[in-house]
Amino acid sequence: MRNAPTILHLDMDAFFASVEQASKPSLRGKAVVVGGLGPRGVVATASYEARVFGVHSAMPMSQARRLAPNAAYLVPRFTLYRTISEQVMALLRELSPLVEPLSLDEAFVDLEAGGAAWDEESARRAGEKLRADIRAVTGLTGSVGLAASKMLAKIASEQAKPDGLRLIEPGTERALLAPMPVRTLPGVGPATGDHLRRAGITTVEELAEAGEDELVRLLGKAHGHALYAMALARDERPVVAERETKSVSVEDTYDVDIHDRLRVGLEVQRLADRCVRRLRQAGLSGRTIVLKVRRYDFSTLTRSETLRGPTDDPVVIREAAARLLDSVDTTGGVRLLGVGVSGLADYTQEDLFAQAMPVPAAEEPEKGAVEAVVERAEPVERQWRAGQDVRHTEHGHGWVQGSGLGRVTVRFETPHSSPGRVRTFFADDPALESADPLPLVPDSSRPAERPGPPDRGRRTAPPRPPEDLAAQASSDPASLPKSWSGTLGGEATSRP
């Protein structure tokens, strides 16, 4: 392990929630919770103001609402989060060619590899400059940990939160780790932690005192050796610049179990199309199609099919997913569906005609059956989700505070304005449309957009109390997809 603290770990502070607060002046300093808004939604990120009430990531949204009923509950805006993440990662790559992104808001950097730091003082200067640059470019804050290894740098950044910098000086590592719980170390999850607790080991110091042989006996050879080394503050893992993508997938959790087999099939087709879009955005193709089904009793089934060559053809992937669905019993109802592609490649096999399996003529549905399905189709209603960007022809840019029962409430403000006014419209108002997010830091090359002029008598829907707005339930997907697809469901009222 190196001696100088030149491994940097950056963790953006409450990233999704911080972006929403920076984007919406009326939410600054308020409790904000970002995630799926339906009954089965989960919390993606909670602002520090919301954490005071006990709200945290991965918590069921229903529990979060009980703990912090007056918080603002918003759907994620992944397009904006990715844009800001790319700006932050670009700043990291200016420091070093060795940048290892862990997620949109977290990364390791080897400062020594880029000549950005070689001792304690230079590492601290690099960390402080990075924090200042992030604030200047994005308007957000990040916490920085500096140490001689990845494990210690991550621990340091946790101690620096929020909006701080922590450097672990060489020679102090073991004293720092000794009183910490064993769950602090990488690879120690709930099961391993419970196993160690039953053996009388609860702190890192007790882990080191137990000895390598005892840990191997308790946890197995590989895990025991690795954990003992970490207890002694040894972590030789390098910063890896390129993390190979192993799969691309999307999934949705539904507010109400789906029992209709036709609806399940349509959802699988829709997920397959979304997965193809993600593949093409990444310039990838894949050979193995994977279907994930979580049934009403929480049992989870996965089925896969490997093609003869990699593809990003939506027809091929839809048909493969449909074949996989045929082997799954969904009689009792489905609460989650997912479609993924693995065995990735950066090229597409052109000769895939044999992989696509068109329905034989004898099995094609009759014309009358197709017409019956068309007759049952209903026009798609406009969906307004809390936190969504909108624009009104008269009032300008704003965001949805809540919707339901044919009305939508919008607060008109921008990242660079003062807190804006709230207005309620009919949900089908032609003057109101979805909009792209505005940048958090104004572009000097063009004027910043501002909310529109004051109301001049345009007809709007009468205001409605929050309890009425919250009455509208949604059957749209409500969980946070692991694929970061950004498609979330549930209508709710946010109360900043």
DSSP secondary structure code for residue 476 in this structure: S
3-state secondary structure of 471: coil
Could you tell me if 134 and 88 are in contact, meaning their C-beta atoms sit under 8 angstroms apart? yes
pLDDT average, residue stretch 367-382: 43
Is residue 468 marked as binding? Answer: no
pLDDT of 465 > 70? The answer is no
Could you tell me if 215 and 227 are in contact, meaning their C-beta atoms sit under 8 angstroms apart? yes
Is residue 429 marked as binding? Answer: no
pLDDT average, residue stretch 397-423: 93
pLDDT of 361 > 70? The answer is no
pLDDT of 122 > 90? The answer is yes
pLDDT of 477 > 50? The answer is no
Rounded to 5°, angle at Cα 58 from 468 and 439 = 70
User: Which range has the worst mean pLDDT, 173-187, 311-325, 423-437, 444-458?
Assistant: 444-458
Query: Residue 195: which of 167, 223, 226, 153 has the closest Cα?
Result: 223
Query: Residue 398: which of 419, 368, 383, 378 has the closest Cα?
Result: 419
Tell me which of 106, 173, 267, 491 is the catalytic residue.
106
- Taking the model in full, what pTM does it have? 0.73
Assess whether 158 carries a catalytic annotation.
no
Q: What is the mean pLDDT of the chain?
A: 83
Q: Which residues on neighbouring strands pair with residue 207, listed in sequence order?
A: none
Could you tell me if 426 and 464 are in contact, meaning their C-beta atoms sit under 8 angstroms apart? no
Sign of CA dihedral 74, 78, 79, 81: positive
Q: What is the pLDDT of residue 459?
A: 47
Cα 276 from Cα 284, distance rounded (Å): 9
DSSP secondary structure code for residue 42 in this structure: B
DSSP secondary structure code for residue 30 in this structure: S
The string of pLDDT tens digits covering residues 187-202 is 888 888 898 999 999 9
Query: Residue 411: which of 392, 428, 393 has the closest Cα?
Result: 392
Which regions of 155-217 does DSSP assign to beta strands (E)?
Answer: 165-167
Rounded to 5°, angle at Cα 437 from 433 and 440 = 150
Q: From residue 79, how far is each of 217, 221, 275, 311 by CA, in Å?
A: 48, 44, 16, 26
Q: What's the order of all strands across the beta sheet hosting 407-412?
A: 421-426, 407-412, 396-404, 389-392, 432-434
